[in-house]
C-alpha cells in the first residue's frame, strides 16, 4: 500500500509523541511512587516513635486488663489520627496489643521478621525496619510496615509494628494514571490536529512539485512549480526544479534545432549532388560540361565529409573521449605551418599575410594537434571572409603565465548583435545560408571547445565593415596537477541557436 509523506510523517510524529508520553508517565509514576512510599514510611516512623514513648509508661503492666484497655484507647487515638494500625509483640513475636487486628492472619509474627527488625535496629541509622508486603503472611494484603524494638535499657522487651494499607498506593496510582491518561489523550489530540495543519502547509508545495514532475516526466517541459516562496528547503527544491525544467526545455529546444540544422546542412549538398548527377544522366547537362559539374559534385562530397568529421570530432570532445597529450612547443611553428598549408587559397584570394615570423620563439603548454586544429579553423574562417586585396595578420604576445595568440583579418567583420553567438553550434550571421554556403557553422564552436580543453579562453572582437579579430590564450608553463580546465557544461553548453561559426 502506497503511503504518502503526510501519513508517514504523521505516523512518525504520533509514535514519537506516544513514546515520549509513555516514558514521561512511567518516570513520573516511579518518582511519585517512591515519594509516596517515602512519605508513608516517614509517617509510620513518626507514629512509631510516639508509640515507643507511650508504651514505656505501661509496658510493665500491659498484661493487666485495665492497663491494656487504657493503652488500647491511646493506640486507637494515635492510629486514627494518622490512619495507621499499631500492634505490639513480645520478644517471641506474640501479638500482645493491637489497634486493629482485622488484617492480621496470625497472632504470632514469624521469627524471620523479628530477626530482620533486630538487624535493622543494629545496622540502620534510624534503627527502624521498613517493608512493603505481607510480612511473611502475617497480613491478608500488602502493608507499609515500620517496626522497631521496645528497649528497656539495652534489653529488648518486645516490638512495635506501625502499619498502613498498601491500597493507598494503588488508589494513588489509579488516580494518577487516569488523570495522566486523560491529559495525555488531550495533548495527543491537540498535537495531532496541529500536526495535520502543519503537514498540510508543508506538503502542499511538495504535492505541486510532484504533479509538476509527473507532467514533466510525461514530456511537458513547459510545466513549472508556481506559488512556492520562502527560504526553506522546499522552496529551494521548487526553484531547483524550475531551473532544471528551464534548462531541459532549452536543451530539448536546442536539440531540435540541432537536428534541424544537421538535416539542413546535409540536405543542401546532397540536393546539389543529386541535381548535378541527374542532369548528367538525363542529358540535361551537355557532355562538354560533365567534368565541370563532376568537380562541383566532388566539392560538395568533400563538404559532406568535412561536416560529418566535424560532428564526429565534436561528439568525441564533448563526451570526454579525447585524451589531451599536452607538451611544450613553439606556437609560431604551428602558425607558420598552417599558413603554408593554406598558401594556395591565400594566393587565389589575393590576400596578404602579415606578422608571420620564424625568428621568434614562444613556448606554450598544450596539445599541438588540438591547437593546429584551432589555428586551421580560425585561418579558414579569416580566408573566407577576407576580400581580395585584404590582409590577414598574426600576432603572439606573452602576458604573464599565458600567451595571447590573435588572427586579425580585414573585411566586413561581424555585427555587434551577432558577436555573442559566433561560438555557438551552427550559428551563421548570414541566416539565409547563401553566402559561403560551404561553411557548416561548427568550426568556431570546435575552436572554443579545444581552447577550453587546453586551459585557455577564446574571444572575438570586431568593427563592422572594417575588421575582425579572434584571440585565444594558452598557458606558457606546465601547470600543477588538476589545473587544466576540463570539458564542462560551460565549455560545451548549447544555446537556442546551437554553436559557432559565422
Q: Quick one: pLDDT at residue 68?
A: 55
Res. 363: pLDDT tops 90:
yes
* C-alpha span between 331 and 458 (Å, rounded): 16
Nearest partner of 93 among 19, 45, 156, 50, judged by Cα: 156
Q: Which residue has the cell 559561403?
A: 436
Q: Which three cell numbers stand for residue 336?
A: 607558420
Enter the pTM of the model: 0.47
Q: Quick one: pLDDT at residue 407?
A: 95
Res. 136: pLDDT tops 50:
yes
Phi-psi group of 219: left, alpha or beta (phi > 0 → left; psi -120 to 50 → alpha; rest → beta)? left
Q: Are 372 and 439 in contact (CB under 8 A)?
A: no
Q: Quick one: pLDDT at residue 194?
A: 81
Q: Quick one: pLDDT at residue 197?
A: 77
Dihedral sign for Cα atoms in the order 302, 304, 309, 310: positive
Return the top range by mean pLDDT from 88-97, 195-204, 207-216, 389-398. Answer: 389-398
Q: Convert the pLDDT of each residue in 9-62 to its tens digit.
A: 777 877 888 888 888 878 877 887 788 788 888 888 888 887 777 666 555 555
Q: Which three cell numbers stand for residue 209?
A: 512539485
Average pLDDT over residues 215-238: 75
Give φ, ψ of 430 to 5 degrees: -85, 90
Res. 343: pLDDT tops 70:
yes
* C-alpha span between 385 and 435 (Å, rounded): 10
Percent of the chain with pLDDT over 90: 13
Q: Are 164 and 44 in contact (CB under 8 A)?
A: yes
| Domains of the chain from N-terminus onward | 5-170 (3.30.450.20), 233-316 (1.10.287.130), 323-500 (3.30.565.10)
* C-alpha span between 392 and 410 (Å, rounded): 7
Q: What is the DSSP string of 42-100?
A: HHHHHHHHHHHHHHTTTGGGTTSHHHHHHHHHHHHHHHHHHT-EEEEE-TT-BEEEES-
Q: Are 225 and 241 in contact (CB under 8 A)?
A: yes
Mean pLDDT score across all residues of the chain: 78
Q: Which three cell numbers stand for residue 110?
A: 514469624
Give the number of other Cβ atoms within 10 Å of residue 93's Cβ.
Answer: 19
Amino acid at each position: 500500500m502506497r503511503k504518502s509523506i503526510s501519513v508517514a510523517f504523521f505516523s512518525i510524529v504520533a509514535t514519537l509523541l506516544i513514546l515520549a508520553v509513555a516514558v514521561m508517565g512511567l518516570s513520573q509514576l516511579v518518582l511519585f511512587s517512591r515519594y509516596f512510599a517515602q512519605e508513608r514510611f516517614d509517617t509510620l516512623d513518626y507514629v512509631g516513635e510516639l508509640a515507643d514513648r507511650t508504651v514505656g509508661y505501661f509496658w510493665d503492666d500491659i498484661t493487666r486488663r485495665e492497663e491494656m484497655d487504657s493503652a488500647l484507647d491511646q493506640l486507637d487515638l494515635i492510629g486514627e489520627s494518622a490512619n495507621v494500625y499499631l500492634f505490639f509483640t513480645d520478644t517471641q513475636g506474640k501479638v500482645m496489643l493491637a489497634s486493629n487486628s482485622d488484617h492480621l492472619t496470625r497472632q504470632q509474627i514469624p521469627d524471620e521478621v523479628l530477626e530482620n527488625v533486630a538487624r535493622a535496629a543494629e545496622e540502620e541509622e534510624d534503627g527502624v525496619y521498613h517493608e512493603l508486603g505481607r510480612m511473611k503472611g502475617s497480613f491478608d494484603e500488602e502493608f507499609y510496615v515500620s517496626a522497631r524494638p521496645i528497649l528497656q535499657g539495652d534489653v529488648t522487651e518486645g516490638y512495635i509494628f506501625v502499619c498502613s494499607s498498601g491500597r493507598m498506593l494503588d488508589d494513588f496510582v489509579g488516580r494518577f494514571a487516569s488523570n495522566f491518561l486523560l491529559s495525555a489523550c488531550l495533548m495527543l489530540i491537540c498535537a495531532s490536529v496541529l500536526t495535520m495543519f502543519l503537514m498540510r502547509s508543508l506538503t502542499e508545495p511538495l504535492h505541486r512539485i510532484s504533479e509538476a514532475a509527473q507532467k514533466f516526466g510525461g514530456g511537458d517541459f513547459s510545466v513549472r512549480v508556481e506559488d512556492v516562496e520562502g527560504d526553506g528547503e522546499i522552496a529551494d527544491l521548487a526553484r531547483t526544479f524550475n531551473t532544471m525544467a528551464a534548462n531541459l526545455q532549452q536543451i530539448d529546444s536546442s536539440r531540435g534545432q540541432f537536428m534541424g540544422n544537421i538535416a539542413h546542412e546535409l540536405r543542401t549538398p546532397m540536393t546539389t549532388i543529386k541535381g548535378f548527377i541527374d542532369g548528367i544522366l538525363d542529358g540535361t547537362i551537355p557532355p562538354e560540361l560533365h567534368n565541370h559539374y563532376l568537380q562541383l559534385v566532388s566539392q560538395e562530397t568533400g563538404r559532406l565529409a568535412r561536416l560529418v568529421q566535424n560532428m564526429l570530432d565534436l561528439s568525441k570532445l564533448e563526451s570526454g573521449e579525447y585524451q589531451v597529450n599536452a607538451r611544450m612547443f613553439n606556437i609560431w611553428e604551428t602558425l607558420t605551418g598552417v599558413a603554408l598549408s593554406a598558401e594556395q587559397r591565400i594566393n587565389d584570394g589575393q590576400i596578404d599575410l602579415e606578422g608571420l615570423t620564424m625568428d621568434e620563439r614562444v613556448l606554450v603548454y598544450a596539445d599541438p594537434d588540438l591547437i593546429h586544429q584551432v589555428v586551421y579553423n580560425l585561418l579558414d574562417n579569416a580566408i573566407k571572409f577576407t576580400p581580395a586585396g585584404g590582409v590577414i595578420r598574426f600576432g603572439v604576445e606573452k602576458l604573464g603565465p599565458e600567451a595571447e595568440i590573435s588572427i586579425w583579418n580585414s573585411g566586413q567583420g561581424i555585427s555587434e548583435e551577432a558577436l555573442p553567438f559566433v561560438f555557438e553550434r551552427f550559428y551563421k550571421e548570414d541566416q539565409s545560408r547563401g553566402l559561403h554556403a560551404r561553411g557548416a557553422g561548427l568550426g568556431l564552436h570546435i575552436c572554443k571547445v579545444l581552447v577550453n580543453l587546453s586551459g585557455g579562453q577564446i574571444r572575438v572582437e570586431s568593427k563592422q565593415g572594417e575588421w575582425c579579430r579572434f584571440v585565444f590564450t594558452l598557458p606558457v608553463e606546465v601547470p600543477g596537477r588538476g589545473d587544466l580546465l576540463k570539458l564542462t557544461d560551460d565549455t560545451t553548453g548549447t544555446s537556442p541557436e546551437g554553436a559557432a561559426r559565422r
